[in-house]
A = this chain, B = another copy of it.
């Protein structure tokens, strides 16, 4: 008899969760129908994003926070996005080894994912994994990623609460960080707060929060939590801040706004990716792409008109006019 993966996932089977995630990564056609059936069972988990530059101690922080959440009797799913090279392609899994204590805890599921070079792909893949963990009954889902570029901004969009981790002694952290990342922070985590430079960094963050008050996407004013994850210091405060932000989202109805925005972006990304995949495959099928490139290279045709022609062929007539508006 065929296995019912949806039933197994809803019952919390790690093996079934792992199988479906692998199918998603492999673009196996069995994934789609399962994702469809899981969808009605999502929306229950609280999703936390943890981001920040290399070396600020995100992994240890995630580790200690997970420990804290487990003590409260809640289950945890962790999606760790590892930076990888578009050439060599592998994920750096070293950090995950530190979290091995949780590997024997059935209340914790950890999944590492490599970032791919594809446009918008990582955010969609992450959103799918979060959905699966959500459906499998995890109470809290932590998305951990190295926060530098647009990819990471897209990934953090999935979270209800975004924690931006900073640490003293890593140079001019606030200045060098991509501005967009600072602005999506709901909670600033000042980690390694036992080190020199903590007070100065704290002051810089406070100035930044003050500046951001006017351009924030909602009425929430970011707060700062000092932690020293290796000593387990401040983790309780961090959890309280996360709960506090969650309550704010619920009480003001902003949680629905955030979820609407997230669904909309995800829907647009899905349509876009699928359509692009289709067009790309068609173009590559019979050497058409190569021919187009040759024409452009030799100035036989120019790319702007070519794109228009290609899309005119693909998008149905009633929308075609908008291309020529």
Contacts and interface: CB of A to CB of B under 8 A. Distances in A.
Contact of A176 (B55, B88, B119): B55
Contact of A36 (B149, B268, B304): B304
B267 A83 contact: no
A211 B311 CA distance: 42
Nearest to A35: B304
A60 to B, nearest CB: 17
A278 interface: yes
A221 interface: no
A166 to B, nearest CB: 14
A296 B263 contact: yes
Give the size range of A's interface with the partner: 35 or more
Contacts of A179: 83-85, 87-88
Contact of A83 (B178, B280, B281): B178
A134 interface: no
A195 to B, nearest CB: 14
Contact of A153 (B117, B183, B296): B117
A19 interface: no
Contact of A271 (B29, B152, B217, B276): B276
A280 B268 contact: yes
Contact of A293 (B264, B269, B282, B319): B264
B316 A263 contact: no
A interface: dominant SS: helix
Interface in A156-200: 170-172, 175-176, 178-180, 182-183
Contacts of A256: 297
A282 B275 CA distance: 14
A39 B299 contact: yes
A23 to B, nearest CB: 13
A252 interface: no
Given A175-B54, A293-B263, A310 B271 contact: yes
A151 interface: yes
A81 to B, nearest CB: 12
A265 to B, nearest CB: 10
Contact of A315 (B29, B117, B176, B314): B314
Contact of A289 (B87, B267, B269, B315): B267
Closest 4 CB pairs of A and B: A149-B149, A39-B302, A85-B179, A54-B176
Given A32-B304, A150-B150, A278-B311, 11 more contacts: A35-B304, A36-B302, A40-B299, A54-B175, A85-B178, A119-B120, A264-B289, A271-B283, A271-B311, A272-B276, A316-B316
